[in-house]
């Protein structure tokens, strides 16, 4: 049991660091004390530190295999992770009053940008990352790690929809979400849908690919294994 103590401790700290600030009263108190910019900067630093610590703890936990690694399983994250990183970067940089975003600018529901792909691009990026790495890692430590992230991502989407709907009111929420599908590319299944491209989206894609390249090069440092071998 002691061999699993680090993973359990860091996992508990990571989950609490996201659940407790999600409580409106707690978040409002922290923002009032530190200011919005300082709060989110500090929150981002702590989250990144705990994420790296959690990845390290999963990599150094005792290896208990439930299914073996295969070439097909290893190919999954290599194929989908560029998409996930681009989705995360575009989601963070585009205005989105319905979900997680660093951009508090004006949001046009008729020209929603990346939000036309899916309502919660950042959370879907985390879900894709989690499921892709589950396919490549069949040991207990990594199943705990990526399974937790997958569950948190899915639950966060439902929680955000509920909170945003309550805050905005159903009429306003429906107006903003008119072209913001719950599932990725859901509008593409309907007739007449055409994606809208712009220079901003192109820049987000290029930045996302550049960040993916950096993550792939440093993967062996923070995850203990190379992204490509």
Show pLDDT as tens, one digit a residue, over the chain (229 residues): 667 888 889 988 988 888 777 777 777 888 888 887 787 788 878 888 888 888 888 888 888 999 888 899 999 999 999 999 999 999 999 999 999 888 888 999 988 888 988 999 999 999 999 999 999 999 999 999 899 999 999 999 998 999 899 989 999 999 999 888 888 866 655 544 565 667 888 899 999 999 999 999 998 887 778 888 7
Q: Could you report how far apart the first and last alpha carbons of the chain are, in Å?
A: 33
pTM of the model: 0.86
Positive or negative, the Cα torsion across 98, 100, 104, 107?
negative
User: Where are the domains positioned within the chain?
Assistant: 1-62, 65-223
Is 57 in contact with 139 (CB distance < 8 Å)? no
Is 180 in contact with 112 (CB distance < 8 Å)? yes
């Amino acid at each position: 049991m002691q061999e699993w103590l680090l993973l359990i401790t860091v996992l508990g700290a990571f989950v609490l660091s996201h659940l407790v600030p999600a409580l409106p009263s707690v978040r409002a108190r922290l923002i009032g004390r530190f200011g919005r910019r300082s709060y989110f900067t500090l929150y981002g630093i702590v989250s990144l530190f705990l994420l790296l610590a959690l990845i390290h703890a999963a990599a150094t936990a005792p290896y208990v295999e439930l299914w073996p690694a295969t070439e097909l399983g290893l190919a999954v994250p290599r194929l989908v992770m560029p998409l996930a990183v681009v989705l995360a970067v575009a989601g963070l940089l585009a205005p989105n009053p319905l979900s997680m975003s660093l951009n508090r600018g004006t949001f046009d529901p008729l020209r929603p940008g990346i939000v036309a792909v899916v309502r919660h691009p950042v959370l879907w990026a985390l879900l894709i990352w989690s499921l892709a790495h589950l396919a490549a890692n069949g040991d207990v430590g990594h199943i705990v790690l990526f399974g937790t992230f997958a569950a948190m991502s899915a639950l966060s989407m439902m929680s955000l929809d509920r909170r945003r709907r309550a805050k905005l009111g159903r009429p306003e929420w429906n107006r903003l979400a008119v072209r913001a599908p719950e599932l990725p590319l859901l509008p593409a299944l309907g007739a007449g849908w055409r994606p809208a491209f712009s220079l901003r989206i192109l820049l987000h894609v290029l930045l996302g690919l550049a960040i993916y390249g950096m993550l792939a090069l440093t993967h062996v440092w923070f995850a203990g294994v190379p992204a490509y071998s």
